[in-house]
A and B are shown apart, each in its own frame.
Chain A
């Protein structure tokens, strides 16, 4: 059974810092991995999707990498801003017809 872990559960950083959020998964045979952002009281917003054949994806100040062999993905946020404060979740898909397995998320606070 796939398990997805995100540690730490919460993180507080000063504005302007570059930061890395980690996601680890137990079964390296994945189909794709997706990073989401969730603001309080809102649904999840898709940030980046990495297919199993890809090593990384970039969108603006965000860069997500995937290392299947080690069971890890990282989300890199450059020059963090207070507006980046939210909970970040990663989710792994085991096969084309498999469900997504979600981590419990990392709650990020960026201090002005």
Chain B
């Protein structure tokens, strides 16, 4: 799976709690992305990073923050989880702007 590890794989949390999802890569790729996948909406970009400490918002960034302090790690934080954030979250990496994206196996998050 292109050296991408997402943790945890599954998580159940309560509304209002903070949650952090981790993406770790061993490929030394510059670009890292967080997507969510929902029935009827497909894949939507939350945030992305184009280098250490360089991040930007995607199309559905409200309620989410990210950090990238090392090349290999990209963290996604739900500051105060809501039921609408129940989803499957995927991390993806890319070597360059012309390169294919490679995805992790996802984290299934349920907010009760």
Contacts and interface: CB of A to CB of B under 8 A. Distances in A.
B100 to A, nearest CB: 4
Nearest to B40: A104
Interface residues on B, range: 20 to 34
A99 B59 contact: yes
Contacts of B74: none
Main SS of chain B's interface residues?
loop
Nearest to A105: B42
B101 A34 contact: yes
Interface of A: 31-32, 34, 36, 41-46, 49, 51, 89, 91, 96-97, 99-100, 102-105
Interface of B: 1, 4, 40, 42-43, 45, 48, 58-59, 90, 92, 97-106
